[in-house]
Structure 1
Amino acid sequence: MSNKVITFGEIMLRLATPGYERFAQAKEFTATYGGGEANVAVSLANYGIDASFVTRLPKNDIARSCEMDLKKYGVNTEHIVYGGDRLGIYFLETGAVSRGSKVVYDRAHSAISQIEKGMIDWDKVFEGANWFHWTGITPAISQGAADVCLEAIKAANERGITVSCDLNYRKNLWKYGKTANEVMPELAAGTDVILGNEEDAAMVLGIHPEGVDVTGGHVEADAYLSVSQQIMKQFPRCKKVITTLRGSINANHNSWSGVLYDGKELFKANNTYQITHIVDRVGGGDSFMGGLIYGLLTWPNDDQKALNFAVAASCLKHTIYGDYNQVTVEEVEKLMDGDASGRVAR
């Protein structure tokens, strides 16, 4: 059976200051598009997977441009529904060295924030699908978005479709009267594969790593075993817990790796990459998730290889401008095999 992956969430217009300019300096912004679940769909489409992105868009030229952008990368957009008045926007100021990046959201009253149960025909969307992906960003947008996300998870569960989630805690989004801790556990309960770092687990599920200091740029993989075990105990459906390990030396230099726990064994990625000249780290976690889903679908009995692929794929994303990870399977496998030379291919 060929693989078909569905992702659901919000896509936005991204307006970024040129280079490393601050908002107050910028005279113009570079326009691209991005959003957690859309970024995952683009990664998978680049790897040759049949990937569909589901969202709600307004009927206007900006939204049409956004949909055309997704199609350009091979993402199926046939299940997008239309309504509402606007596409959400986010502004990005890229940090450098000791100055971190900043994001300002302008997404209130976006088309998807006003979505309601029944607007999406999940029977039709899930026809032939074997994987569904969502993130913690979607239920943070509005009560309606949270309701539809749960509707989708339940529909996927009924059909035996594998469900994955990136917990993705965004404190600036939870503003409609409920906290992540109140909403997310019910959604996580229907999820088979959970990705999240130590902050996500703490803020979303109330689970804390034991005996680890994550503030000094060094992260110890073994310390996350307790987090993974707690997640599996709290959510018995969950079969795999994955943690990205990012050490932030500064805004331009991160170390990058990951671990995967399958309920019995904690797999550590073969490589910890030193990303010394970050081009764009936005979408780094989504590129990891896209690589992980591809890996788990392609090598279902080799969690180590799937994890190695995800880490290498997301390492490469840090070299690419924009939210999307525009790399091929061959490029990821080349890095997996140890070729990090960056030599000209000709």
Structure 2
Amino acid sequence: MKQVVTFGEIMLRLSPPLHQRLSQAGSLDVTYGGGEANVAAALVHLGLPAAHVGCFPDNAVGEAAVQHFRSHGVDMSHCVFRGQRLGLYFLEVGAALRASRIVYDRYESAFAHLQPEWFAWDQILQNAQWLHWTGITPAVSASAAEAARQAIAAARRLGLTVSADVNYRRNLWQYGQRAQDVMPALVAGCDLVVCTEGDAEDLFGIRPEEGAENSFVSMSEQLMQRFPTIKQVIATRRQTQSASHERIKGIAYAEGRYHETDFFDINPVVDRIGGGDSFLSGFIYAQLSGRPLPDALGFATAASALKHTIAGDINLVSAAEVDHILAGNTFGRLLR
């Protein structure tokens, strides 16, 4: 079976144990993650082959990050080792009324200094059926944005499906180019996007029509008119009760029809990092498995809900476990 290929930065994640604050911590738990690589690893656990492409420092820390994803079965053979620094972030996991908090330390990373010519995309994608990227990658540097552009162009030449989580992070765009000037050309090469009304307005100036019965439908229709290659727009809706209690549902617009799932109630939340990546990986898996869109949306949302119960960035669930939840088995009885 052909691979799903993802492209983006992987970072080192450091978290105080036991819901401690950073000011309390005498030690930090270590893991690795990145929006695109999280999708690749989750897909492998669901049963699809996946590869991740990135740039890492040529040292033991870079090798540890790559080995972490190799241990989950992700093909890391196209990664480049150049530079000296792996981006990192510190995560305080909140509880009840205290929200989780992230502090980033990612500037001047090896990924930010990659050169587009280091990646032979026609060769990398020769055994692929799908390319996935996020709006974080072109936000990191001009060279990363150009590498993403070349990857998307190669994917379209080769007939791959292309997806993106547009994921607008205003504070990341620090290298002199505006997201509003860079992102449209990249999104124009996508078949599927994860996009909310807020991201559509911030990135593309698209606002739901006044008086629209469904703001997501109005936004999606305009997005598809602007970018005719886009055939599906998906997103999640959250009802955050506290740092420990979330309710999520999936929404989608495709072929002139709106779809939504019921809310999944998650209490307690163990770790919400990677929940969006798990939603998209579930959707990709279900689509490539031939499930119709309403079923794919339900599978994706259930996969995301399960990720909220798992520590770390990666969704460590099988397709059978997701289907078990979809069958109504949500009360946590002991499985023997």
Alignment of 1:330-345 (within 5 A): 330-345=320-335
Deviation at 1:251, TM superposition (A): 1.5
Q: Give me the whole-angstrom Cα distance separating, in 2, the residues matched to 1:323 and 1:3.
A: 24
CA deviation string 1:241-284 (max 9, x = no partner): 00111111222111101111113111112x31111210000110
> Matched residues, percent identical?
45
Query: What letter matches 1:304 in structure 2?
Result: P
Q: What secondary structure does 2:242 align onto?
A: coil
Q: Give me the whole-angstrom Cα distance separating, in 1, the residues matched to 2:232 and 2:100.
A: 31
Deviation at 1:209, TM superposition (A): 4.2
Q: Give me the whole-angstrom Cα distance separating, in 1, the residues matched to 2:22 and 2:173.
A: 24
What residue in structure 2 maps to residue 229 of structure 1? Answer: 221
Give the unaligned 5+ runs of structure 1: 213-220
Q: Give me the whole-angstrom Cα distance separating, in 2, the residues matched to 1:12 and 1:181.
A: 25
Q: 8 Å contact 1:167–1:196 — kept in the other structure? A: yes
Q: 8 Å contact 2:62–2:81 — kept in the other structure? A: no
CA deviation string 1:290-313 (max 9, x = no partner): 10110111125x111111110000
Give the unaligned 5+ runs of structure 2: none
The 1:233–1:259 alpha-carbon spacing in structure 2 relative to 1, beyond 3 Å, is same
Q: Give me the whole-angstrom Cα distance separating, in 1, the residues matched to 2:22 and 2:185.
A: 38
Q: Give me the whole-angstrom Cα distance separating, in 1, the residues matched to 2:63 and 2:167.
A: 27
Worse-matched range after superposition: 252-261 or 33-42: 252-261
Q: Give me the whole-angstrom Cα distance separating, in 2, the residues matched to 1:278 and 1:246.
A: 13
What residue in structure 2 maps to residue 282 of structure 1? Answer: 273
Q: 8 Å contact 1:190–1:237 — kept in the other structure? A: yes
Query: What letter matches 1:251 in structure 2?
Result: A
Residue correspondences, number? 336
Alignment of 1:143-158 (within 5 A): 143-158=142-157
Alignment of 1:78-93 (within 5 A): 78-93=77-92
Alignment of 1:153-164 (within 5 A): 153-164=152-163
Query: What letter matches 1:68 in structure 2?
Result: Q
Query: What letter matches 1:267 in structure 2?
Result: H
> What value does the CA root-mean-square deviation take over the aligned residues?
1.6
What residue in structure 1 maps to residue 294 of structure 2? Answer: 304
Q: Give me the whole-angstrom Cα distance separating, in 1, the residues matched to 2:135 and 2:308.
A: 22
Q: 8 Å contact 1:229–1:263 — kept in the other structure? A: no
Q: 8 Å contact 2:197–2:215 — kept in the other structure? A: no
Deviation at 1:99, TM superposition (A): 2.4
Query: What letter matches 1:331 in structure 2?
Result: E
Q: Is 1:55 the equivalent of 2:57?
A: no
Q: Is 1:326 the equivalent of 2:307?
A: no
